[in-house]
Structure 1
């Protein structure tokens, strides 16, 4: 999740895909924009046996069991009510990193369109985004306690290195292209015509002609302290409505990063247009999901966004 920025602030990440360099390496591929550093692309589906691939190619639902297992084991609630993820423990566990990579590999085989209905498809992209963020942190973090995904002008979100349904996408392309359908965002506008069309087709496949549901912003986690908390389980089609509602209530109940006397989350500023679609504005969303409505909420101020890594000290 990231504040949309003018194209002029992006040093190299909005070059067209015609400028991409793709080469084979021992661990898969790397992708680089013509003026940018290479980014390793995990090998994805090649890690899976043929029987598993065949099942995944035909399934209409996903339980996301592997992702739930990682969250259950490595996500913990601290004394301030913030869910922290133990990246260090994951990175030092071969079993955990293999579990994460295998989960992401399943999402490379499964195409969201084959899943049944908006809830299944939205769950696919939310879980996939969150898992890809974790994979990205493990790749770039190196155990540095000061690491932040905001480093180098948020390039973390711009690198096209995550495989979904056979496509290699950046996190911004998932959020702003697939989920938001925002053709003006640099990650969508600055890519090739073919990929832009594919992103917008995926957007239509998720929402099936219905308005976007801004609650997905409360489900995405950008590995930062001000992001909405990770759940201790994956988002799943049959439970998605309940999960999104619960996550929304928890977020606006938190005065430190959701809504309170000191202001409201900057997420409501970053994505004001999205909250207008179904709630009219941020106030409508907050009053709908917060116990006590707008009582004690300062709507005239946005809370400073803390991009510090959501990891234990």
Structure 2
């Protein structure tokens, strides 16, 4: 009987810990605020500082790993998506500092292995890799193309990592801000009015199915770049993709 009571208490305690997860993600915001240097259209991460001060990140990652599938299923859609975006970004930071110094996330792993296929963390009761979060959960379960400007692959070509976390309450406004900031960055996306020409990130090529056909993509660009182009102008516009910069988004300033 004592054994059963003890087992019950342990299960209750485990359930309580995971259900008590802080959905304001305040600890992750604290981490980001300390190491992300916001440069307007882009941001850099002070990985040296993060590597030498991992305590808060480790605590946050442990909290993420403590959330069970059952707990996740009880969340609202906005809570789920905010949770997954933050998890992707936080575990990406962990992957980088575990291998730092490194010039690119693509340098992590072997010749035949991908950093995004590396199973190095637990989430929702499973040993996972980053591609599972992005492709098998987020893209599968959420019809939200703006997530491509929120999940950050630690590279110069990626959208910027913000210095605060996503939450259910700020999700829509933060996704919209991330999208507009990325599309207005002329180093990664641009429109030439005299030539009626779009030159955009390879992200739109890699994940074209999330943006619809070519005209739908141009409409998306027109809206979020706030260009005010007519449908006829969009139909005639040319579209090409810029080279992607996989260099690490590392802050090289004063440490």
Report the TM-score, using the length of structure 2 for normalisation: 0.80
Partner of 1:215: 146
Greater Rg by CA: 2
The aligned counterpart of 1:263 is: 199
Q: Residue 27 of structure 2 is aligned with which of 59, 66, 72?
A: 66
Instruction: Quote the residue 2:124 is aligned against.
Output: 165
Query: Contact 2:200–2:241 at 8 Å: present in 1 too?
Result: yes
**Partners of 1:108 and 1:166 within 8 A in 2:** yes
Partners in 2 of 1:224 and 1:52 — Cα distance?
40
Partner of 1:310: 249
Contiguous gaps of at least 5 residues in structure 2: 1-9, 193-197
Matched residue, 2:60: 103
User: Which position in structure 2 is the counterpart of 1:286?
Assistant: 221
TM-score (norm 1): 0.66
2:210 — aligned with what? 274
Contact 1:228-1:251 within 8 A present in 2 as well: yes
Secondary structure at the residue paired with 1:223? coil
> In structure 1, what is the equivalent of residue 104 of structure 2?
148
Could you tell me how far 1:77 is from its partner in structure 2? 2.4
- Residues 294/91 of structure 1: CA separation in 2 closer, same or farther (3 Å cut): farther
Shift of 1:289: 1.2
Tell which has more relative contact order, 1 or 2 (C-alpha 8 A, sep 6+): 2
CA drift of 1:55 comes to 3.8
Distance, in Å, in 2 between the alignment partners of 1:118 and 1:165 is 16
Q: What CA deviation, in whole Å up to 9, does each residue of 1:50-83 have, x standing for no partner?
A: 99854443248611111101111110124x7320
Query: In the alignment, what sits opposite 2:163?
Result: 232
Structure 1: segments with no counterpart, 5+ residues: 1-48, 182-202
In 1, the alpha carbon distance for the partners of 2:74 and 2:190 equals: 35
Label 1:105 to 1:167 Cα distance change in 2 as closer, same or farther (>3 A): same
User: CA contact under 8 A between 1:286 and 1:294: conserved in structure 2?
Assistant: no
Corresponding residue of 2:46 = 86
CA 1:178 to 1:299, structure 2 compared with 1: closer, same or farther past 3 Å? farther
Asked if residue 129 in structure 1 is aligned to residue 88 in structure 2, the reply is yes
Q: Which residue does the alignment assign to 2:195?
A: none
